[in-house]
Structure 1
């Protein structure tokens, strides 16, 4: 067999294509119409129904706009329902910009510490290259959200509202990447001189803080909190710190939550805890650790939480088999196999191994349709505004959940006793570039 593409081979490919009338029909269609409109399976669409048997949401969705803050939005959306009830208001939002500021600053410090730790390695070392590839993206994971709330508290959106750059982070991130990569270069040049490295790191962080303050504003150390409830009653709590505000208005026990994932690769045994090297944002915070379990258990845990009255934070590969116009996910929504006359048969484990999938987005389950004790479909609070789907609430077929959901945050007490015990095991450490270290954005 020739290694090069020969003229004879090219002629054969063209003849094989031309010999099939169905291929020409597809060519005519797809050259004039987006392929998703051709591949959309009407049998799936005609069965579309947004109703669910267990529904929690009676609030408006939020909008992360042109930013990758979904994991922060999903986390704060989980917390805001309890805060709204305690405040007796219809809609309430914690400041997403406030946590964005501290995530960027903490993550810059986290990156510079990693640069110090690896400064004696070659710049093309795989770990160093991974760290330099994206030192300050917007994405994150559940444990990173908890680390920020634990250290920096929370404030209402009125105390630190959105800015142009919090809603559109590209320009700010570009500047921060330049600052941090230059900082990494300098720290590497100073390898062997610990004092000089620490001095230079402090200088870099000074610039990072300046950039963040210019783009996002200055995080409040105290703020006057007062509001009107749904009955027009006026309330004033006086001056509060972010830590005091979080302690008063976070009504769920964040410290009790753990992250469980579905990683079906043979190298990742179920019932074991894992962590990923250099994954995190806050130095000295508990490491990002997750427990690998079977998908059926993840579904059961999520369903039980919703039926019990509590939304569920989750992470998934959002773009697979998704219709933005319909606000719908189904594992068979688009029939690409019929369009291209070929099989797409990588399973979930193979997709992870071959770089075809990873967690890309985090959202909140706010409803589930239960039939004969099993979930049939799920209602999802997205953070993409209210123009799509059911006023911003999307619908997920259970078939999609099994294929494309990777993790949920759940109370430790909800796990079977034997798995609760496994949470205390020393986690298996995966390399920094492992797909299970992907950040939802």
Structure 2
């Protein structure tokens, strides 16, 4: 093995410890790799100090053992398993370990956008915290659907991406459970008021639109009067204790509905739907409809308002005598900014009567009315988005 003496440290090292240098007599650098790195480090840090910047302590890359990686944020050497993947890096690994990566990302978002919430609002909806605050103020500090809870969640169309308003958690979740289908929301309101086709079918079969679960808890007969075959299984016990029906009754209700949900008639019925106050069993519903009605409090008014909200017929903009515009989302109309906290009760009740009469008069479940309305709204949204893109 051939050795060479380093001019800095004075040690004789193998020639493999020296970089190549064509201008030297032996074709090798005058200093070993370790001393060469220290010289470059001193020069770099001197320039950084002149610029008023502080550089991290010098560290040789060759000091990192095999299977380990240096994190430049916490200045620690960790196993490569502690690093996430990054295809843009030659090593295929992120520069920072996972905890530092998350911390650095958080610091960057707070530094560049003010807060993580502001960053996410810009990323997902093109809004800012100030913009959302103004929208909440324009709504009078209340959810435009239920008129009861504080609006905290930005609601948008998953189809067009357009922001529709600021809703409370329950109303926003209910729209998702009903898959943003206004016709299904309207049918759910009729279902709760025993006005739909399911209630009519129940009247024909039982003489009543629903089953009184509380009154039947001690009964040992089926809904049609025969003696029930009680199996004593956990499901049987749960049905009797919670709904006042047995397993045979549940199967009969399911057969009456043809196995489909009593609300949307488009998904298999999996859950017994009942009134949590009176214990009345209304029918069998799918998971989405059952959860959606529960999130809206089994309230027909909220369901119809949610349907009109999706159709774009709930929230409107009206002019004020002083000039600026304001929002309007109740009938009769009222300036939402003038309604005190907790004062929406009378307006909500009056609006519920209005929408009930409107939906009953315009109800057309046998025709394409609601499908046509929904498609028209979607096409209008696409058209307006296209016009905005052309103007931009």
TM-score by length of 1: 0.21
TM-score by length of 2: 0.23
Greater RCO, 1 or 2 (C-alpha within 8 Å, sep 6+): 1
